[in-house]
Amino acid sequence: MDTLKSALQAVHARIAAAACAAGRKPDTVELLAVSKTFGIDAIRAAAAAGQQAFGESYVQEALVKIAALADLSLTWHFIGPLQRNKTRAVAEHFDWVHSVDRAIIAQRLNDARIAMQPPLNVCVQVNVSGEPSKSGVSPADLPALVHAVAQLPRLHLRGLMAIPAPSKSADQQHAQFRLLRQLRDGLDVPLDTLSMGMSDDMEAAIAEGATLVRVGSAIFGGRQIIN
């Protein structure tokens, strides 16, 4: 636990330094701990160290964790590609979904959200790198999808998410994150969230306006496999 606590403190220090360098307050950037493939004990240790928001990409794995950790007041974010047949489970058990990239997915999440629950927080995922294999709506199709999602009563459209192409070039990192911010700013729907930046590029993301960074390996170490 001491190692994990130290890792969390180091990530928070990176966030604070990047925010200050960009002329921003550190508390304007939220840390989402990406706990996919890590076990319940690791999440519980992170929670004991003060982390409350966790990101998962695999529905069945996540449901086991959510049930096992129900005694804690955690916020669960679904950040992976979402198939139609998984929308009900995600709508019922998660607080956020970052990977809405089609109107049909948004509609199914809306229809499956339980009425007694608050609206499900969602981000629209944008393919800022143009990679054919990558999930996300194209920038050209973004306004139409945003307007469709904004009309759904059981969803709360919060912002945009992107997973840019990996790059060691700081200029390329900045350019892709800047594009997502510019797309957000060009919409006529008010959005408060830019979900962008991971362990290797969070500084560039924060410089370009990220409000939420998704960090896994810098907290938990190398990926594990849940049996």
CA 153 to chain centre: 21
Question: How far is the C-alpha of 77 from the C-alpha of 53, rounded, in Å?
Answer: 7
Question: How far is the C-alpha of 55 from the C-alpha of 39, rounded, in Å?
Answer: 13
CATH 3.40.630.30 fits 2-220, yes or no: no
Question: How far is the C-alpha of 43 from the C-alpha of 16, rounded, in Å?
Answer: 23
Supply the pLDDT for residue 167.
85
Question: How far is the CA of 99 from the CAs of 10, 25, 58, 72, 161, in angstroms?
Answer: 27, 27, 12, 25, 7
Question: How far is the C-alpha of 89 from the C-alpha of 161, rounded, in Å?
Answer: 21
Supply the pLDDT for residue 132.
79
Question: How far is the C-alpha of 159 from the C-alpha of 176, rounded, in Å?
Answer: 16
Structural domain boundaries in the chain:
2-220
What contacts 42, CB < 8 A, 6 or more positions away? Answer: 4, 35, 220
Each residue's pLDDT, cut to its tens digit, for the chain (227 residues) gives: 678 999 999 999 999 999 999 999 999 999 999 999 999 999 999 999 999 999 999 999 999 999 999 999 999 999 999 999 999 999 999 999 999 999 999 999 999 999 999 999 999 999 998 887 788 999 999 999 999 999 999 999 999 999 998 888 889 999 999 999 999 999 999 999 999 999 999 999 999 999 999 999 999 987 665 54
